[in-house]
Structures are given as C-alpha cells and as structure tokens.
Chain A
C-alpha cells in the first residue's frame, strides 16, 4: 500500500503547488496553469504510450500537436464560399493527383522489377509532381487572393468546436499512419531524426499553405465551448450569484470560463487515462511491453512487431493530436509561428521521463508538475536574481545582466532536472510497475 500512499502524496504536492499559486498569485493564474497542465498531461500520456509502452523514440510530438490545432480551424471556422468557388475544387483535385502519384509510385516499386522499376518510379514521380503543380497552383493562388486581409483560405465546416478534438486526433493519426509506414522500420535514432524532420515539415506546411488555415497570418477568434466573459457579465442572474459568493462580476466570469475549460479537460484526461490504464493491464499491453523489452523473442513468439509498433505509434500520436486541438481551443487562435520543438516536443519528453516512463499516472503527474515549474521558473528565477543582486547598486551592468538572464532560466532548469532525474532516479517519480 505504501506505493499508493506515495503516489497520492506526489499528486497532493501538485495540488498544493497549484493552491499555493492561487493564494499568492491569484486564482486566475492558478487555473491557467491547471488548464495547460491538464493538456500537457494528455500530451505526456500520448508520448508515454509510444515510449513507455513500446519503446518508440518519437520526437515529432510538435507536428501532431500542430495538426490537432489545425483541426480546430477546419472544423469550427466559417466556410468561405467565394474561396470555394474560386479554387476549392482545383485544390482538392490537385491534392488527389498528388496522392495518386504517390500511390502509383509505391505500386510501381512493389510490382515492377529491375531497371523498369527505377525508370517507371522516376517517370511517375516527376510527371506526377508537375501535373500536381499545374492543377494545384492556380487553385491555391485563386483561393489566397479572396479577401486576403481577413480570410484568404477555404475556411472550415462551421461545426461545434468540441468536435474538432476527436477530429484533431484523427488528423494526427492519419499523419502517423503515413509516417509509420515509411519510418517505423528504421532503428531508434533514425526514427528520432525522421520524426523530428516530419514535425518541422508539418509546421512548414502550416506556415506556408495559406489556403489551409491562413499560414502565418494566423486564425484568431475561434469558437469557444464555454460562454464568453462579457456575456456572463451582462447576465443579471450570473452577476447576482457572483455577488452572493462575494465576487465582483469580472473576476467571477473569468474564473467561471476557466473552470469550465478545466472541467472539460479533466473529463478528457480521465477518459484517456482510463483507456490507457485498461490497455496497459490488458493482454495487449503486456504484449506491447514484451515487444519493447525483447523484440526478437516477441517476434519468435509469433507477434507481428511491425504492425504493433504502427498501431501504438498511431494511437499515441492521436492522443497528442487531441491535446493539440484542446490547446488551440483554449488559446482561441491558431498561430503556426509559435510551435517550437523545445516547447512542444522536448518539454513533453521531460514530463514523461520525470514523471516515470511506462506508468500512465507518472506521465500525468510529470505533465502537471513540469508545466507548473515551466511557468513558475521565470518569476522564481527573477526573485532569486533580485536577492542575489540586492547588494549591487542600482543601474550597475552586472545587476541588469543578472536580472535580464532570469528570462532564460527555463531551459536551463528543465535540462538540469532532466539530467538529475536520469542520473539519480532513471525510472522517474512514479516508476513502472
């Protein structure tokens, strides 16, 4: 029972940290941290599925998170009929041609032999590429010319934004299927480089294909699953209830919406955690761990290692996609320029490793704890630097330098924590059991 007590205590510490934040810095900041912490926990669950269960070294988390974000725009934004008329069909015809080219090339690779194979593949690829560009480019230009200041893209389906969460998962799963088909046969560090590269490519596509989601022009003002603060403040019933709790309407409304998000995110997290726990304890989960620990032996026992790897790669990526869609919903905007591998890939890895790879609760704990730290390191560092430099006179170069450098404490702290955990407690805070 002592392990259960220990785990509960660790989650208790996170709760105390959040409550402490609420008391000192205000409940709005505490809820903000909690919401992103919940999303981080879901990302960590996804990575834990791939790394902890199956030993797949995926450092392309950022790409799947961004695809999830893309789903929010494609699902919830208003459609732009002028753009569809201008070139929607052309774009889809072009994309279909592109896909057809790839399929044909793969078929040529499989069916043909010797020199004909090489020549046929090259002809298909090069011909297909130019055909694709010829069909696709005019459509793209036409669509992007439609009112570029406010739209310039095809828009979305105008469906409820909550629907975009599962769709984000599906998008990420689709991408993971393509990636897994090509790259999963590679050994671990090649797979790492491959996924790192694919994540960069996904971001590059989202930045440059303006017809899709406006690229670096960003999509702002996405729908929300919770009410707007201003509507709440204008609602007499809400103001009355807030007053009865002793809160002014503005604070009450911001807390209300943030709590709404927190509840939604907690529900998703609990469902996914339950699914992951069930999977881990099922025969399937034991098979996964057997494959992870000894691929050759598992294969000799008749397990299809490649297929299982593909399966879990898709599942883990889908979870990251769901988290990405949730994050974009929380932000209310899609900004492809802000996706950075250090923040969205490597930080999630720190969460998984610190929390305990192979243990779902560990991943959740790591997600919440590391996110809290990531947010709080900067103010803590600033405080530390202020104390350190308090002896120095104001305006001295060293003092300014020290205070300025507090902003860069984050990465350093994360690295040090990762290294310390790897060195002294490589199985993490809640180790695999």
Chain B
C-alpha cells in the first residue's frame, strides 16, 4: 500500500506535470529547431511569437464565447486555435518579407540575423502588449479535471490523490497529433522532403531545383502553427502573461540545443529532458520518501534539491553539461 501511495504521489506531482510541461517545451523547441535547420539562425523572437499567437487565440476565444459558441467540456480556445495560427502565419510571413528576406539576400552572417531577431522580439513584444496588455489572463474553460484528487482517493482508497487536469490531457493529445503530422509532412510529402534536403545541404538542394522561397515560406507557416499551439497549450495549462512567454525562451532553447539544433526528434527529446529535470530537481521528495523509507529513516527536511526559483539554473546547467561533453546535442544536430 505504501508503495502504491508513493507511486501515486510521484505520478501526481512529477510525472503528469512533467509530461505536460515537456510536451509544451517540445513543441516550442520544434519551432526553434525548424528555423535553425532551414534559415540557420537562432530566433530570439520565438517566445514572443508564441505570445502573439496565444493573444490572438484568446481574443477569438472571448469572441466565440460571447456569441455563445463553446466546445462543451473542452476549452473553447481549441476552436479558436486555427484563427490564432492563421494570424501568426500572416505575421511571420510579413516579418520575413519585410525584414529577414533582405538579410538572406545579403547572405548576412547568422549572428546578424540573431540581432535582427532581437529587434523583431522587441516589436512583437510591443504588439502583444498593444493587443492584450500585460495582465495575467486565464482563458481555460470547460471541465477543469478529468480525474480529481478527491475522486481518485475515494475510488482507490489510497491516501494520495491523483489529479489530471483536462488541459494536461489535451496538451499530450495535441502534442502527439502535432508531432505525428509534422513527421508525416517532413518524411512523406514532396515539400517536406525538399525542406529536409534544404536543411542538409543548401547548395545541393538548390542545384536539384528546389525553390528556396517556397521552402522558407512553408517553414515560417509551420513555425507559426507550432509556436501558436505551444503557446496556447502552455497558456491553457498555466496562464497567459506576455512576460512569462519571453522567459520561456530559455528552457525552449535549452531543449532545442540539448536535443541537437536542427534535429526535430532531438527537440522533442530535449523538451522532455529539460522538463523532467526541472521538475525532479525542484520537487520536494519528502512526500514520496515518507512512504518508501522505514519510519526510522524518514527525512525531516523537504528533501528538495533546489528551491523552485532555481528552475532556470537547472535547464541551464543541463545545457552547459551537454554542450561541454557533446557539442552537437544528444541527437546529432547541426553546427555552423
């Protein structure tokens, strides 16, 4: 019984939140890695792209609910998601046409593009604040829980409860669908194959008649979809605040680099590695250990390795360790 309690406590506080957070990071990191693979620069505006897509989605969510359309037990934001993605696609294609294209034609060095993306980050941050302000916004509606802690305790008779939020389940389902679609697209369709060719060897791809403009456009569209989805899932699970999304940049980049920049599978793996290390290292293990250890050895402290405020430090430490020992990431990424 104690063992079961320990497992349930572990699932409730570590595994379920870690899986959801990991999936959100993974989708975010996929966007970063796609830009790096095709356009060959680290996009610092990614966090704010996520914020923009989420802001538009929130606007459409309020619009839909105000005219009486809801998604039953599921959050209405899922219905509004396509609108958010559409707006983000327009924004990113516009940014590329107005800003990035010039530097591509100039064959500017990647670091110049990074600085340009810093400018884009400022502008997008300003736009998001224009649109929706700086407040903390919760926009999840519908059923809050699939399994509540109390219901689980009553059903199983265990001391520990297991709560699964609707948003956590949705995150995992949506993430799975998005990843399946992305890999199908990259591996099976003509455009996807030309994108991979472009990423592997640009000159060879151009020689074989691949249209670079089209590849770049499709990349931005996919990135818009990924960024908006990641942003909306994160916002549904926690809450929306423009500044938090900017700060997500760090774990997302850590995930993409740990997995190997430019490698989609690496981005997914990296997302979960970062999420689980953040959650496990900042979790107070007392609750689990109380069940597993004999009474005499029970810990008196919280058995928390680091306080939760240091979660940045965790993703960063992993990043440094991976970079020092395996510079191209866990899965072989590109290095320019």
Partner of A190, one of B121, B305, B309, B323: B323
B130 touches A193 (CB 8 A): no
Chain A 155-194 per-residue mask, 1 if CB under 8 angstroms from chain B, else 0: 0000000000000000000000000001100111110111
Query: Measured between C-beta atoms, what is the minimum distance from A142 to chain B in Å?
Result: 15
A196 to B305, alpha carbons, bound, how many Å?
Answer: 23
Given contacts A186-B323, A207-B309, A409-B126, contact A197 B115 (CB under 8 A): no
Chain A 409-433 per-residue mask, 1 if CB under 8 angstroms from chain B, else 0: 1111111101100110010000000
Partner of B42, one of A183, A189, A410: A189
Contacts of A350 in B (CB 8 A): 122
Query: Measured between C-beta atoms, what is the minimum distance from B285 to chain A in Å?
Result: 13
A198 at the interface (CB under 8 A from B): yes
A346 to B116, alpha carbons, bound, how many Å?
Answer: 12
Chain A 37-65 per-residue mask, 1 if CB under 8 angstroms from chain B, else 0: 00000000000000000010100000000
A192 to B134, alpha carbons, bound, how many Å?
Answer: 26
**CB nearest neighbor in B for A426:** B112
Partner of B319, one of A193, A346, A414: A193
B119 touches A188 (CB 8 A): no
A353 at the interface (CB under 8 A from B): yes
Most B C-beta atoms less than 10 A away, residue of A342, A346, A349, A422: A422
CB contacts between A and B, total, < 8 Å: 118
B123 touches A412 (CB 8 A): yes
B111 at the interface (CB under 8 A from A): yes
B316 at the interface (CB under 8 A from A): yes
Considering only residues 109-165 of chain B, those with a C-beta below 8 Å from chain A are 110-112, 114-116, 118-127, 129-130, 133-134
A204 at the interface (CB under 8 A from B): yes
**CB nearest neighbor in A for B45:** A415
B335 touches A187 (CB 8 A): yes
B130 touches A183 (CB 8 A): no
Interface stretch (choices B68-76, B219-227, B246-254) = B246-254
A271 at the interface (CB under 8 A from B): no
Partner of B122, one of A405, A411, A426: A411
Given contacts A187-B336, A188-B110, contact A342 B125 (CB under 8 A): yes
Chain B 21-58 per-residue mask, 1 if CB under 8 angstroms from chain A, else 0: 00000000000000000000110000000000000000
B122 touches A418 (CB 8 A): yes
**CB nearest neighbor in B for A197:** B316
A204 touches B42 (CB 8 A): no
A408 at the interface (CB under 8 A from B): yes
B324 at the interface (CB under 8 A from A): yes
B312 touches A201 (CB 8 A): yes
B312 touches A204 (CB 8 A): yes
**CB nearest neighbor in A for B304:** A133
Most A C-beta atoms less than 10 A away, residue of B42, B118, B246, B313: B118
Query: Measured between C-beta atoms, what is the minimum distance from B66 to chain A in Å?
Result: 15
A200 at the interface (CB under 8 A from B): yes
Partner of A197, one of B126, B133, B312, B324: B312
**CB nearest neighbor in B for A415:** B122
Partner of A422, one of B110, B119, B129, B134: B119
B312 touches A415 (CB 8 A): no
Contacts of B79 in A (CB 8 A): none
A415 touches B121 (CB 8 A): yes
Contacts of B111 in A (CB 8 A): 55, 57, 188-189
Query: Measured between C-beta atoms, what is the minimum distance from B180 to chain A in Å?
Result: 29
Considering only residues 374-420 of chain A, those with a C-beta below 8 Å from chain B are 404-405, 408-416, 418-419
Contacts of A412 in B (CB 8 A): 122-123, 126-127, 130
B250 touches A193 (CB 8 A): yes
Contacts of B250 in A (CB 8 A): 193, 196-197, 200
B201 at the interface (CB under 8 A from A): no
Given contacts A192-B114, A204-B309, contact A415 B126 (CB under 8 A): yes
Query: Measured between C-beta atoms, what is the minimum distance from B140 to chain A in Å?
Result: 25
B323 touches A410 (CB 8 A): no
Query: Measured between C-beta atoms, what is the minimum distance from A373 to chain B in Å?
Result: 13
A197 touches B123 (CB 8 A): no
**CB nearest neighbor in A for B41:** A189
B307 at the interface (CB under 8 A from A): yes
Can you report 29 residue pairs joining A to B where beta carbons are below 8 Å apart?
A: A57-B111, A188-B110, A188-B111, A188-B114, A189-B42, A193-B42, A193-B254, A198-B316, A200-B250, A200-B316, A204-B313, A208-B307, A341-B246, A342-B122, A346-B122, A408-B130, A408-B134, A409-B126, A412-B127, A415-B119, A415-B122, A415-B124, A418-B122, A419-B99, A419-B116, A419-B119, A422-B116, A423-B102, A426-B112
The 5 nearest A-B residue pairs measured at CB: A415-B122, A412-B126, A415-B123, A197-B316, A418-B119
Give the A-binding residues of B (Cβ under 8 A): 41-42, 99, 102, 110-112, 114-116, 118-127, 129-130, 133-134, 243, 246-247, 249-250, 253-254, 257, 305, 307, 309-310, 312-313, 315-316, 319-320, 323-324, 327, 335-336
| Apart from A204-B313, A411-B125, A422-B116, 4 more pairs, CB < 8 Å | A189-B110, A189-B114, A197-B312, A346-B121
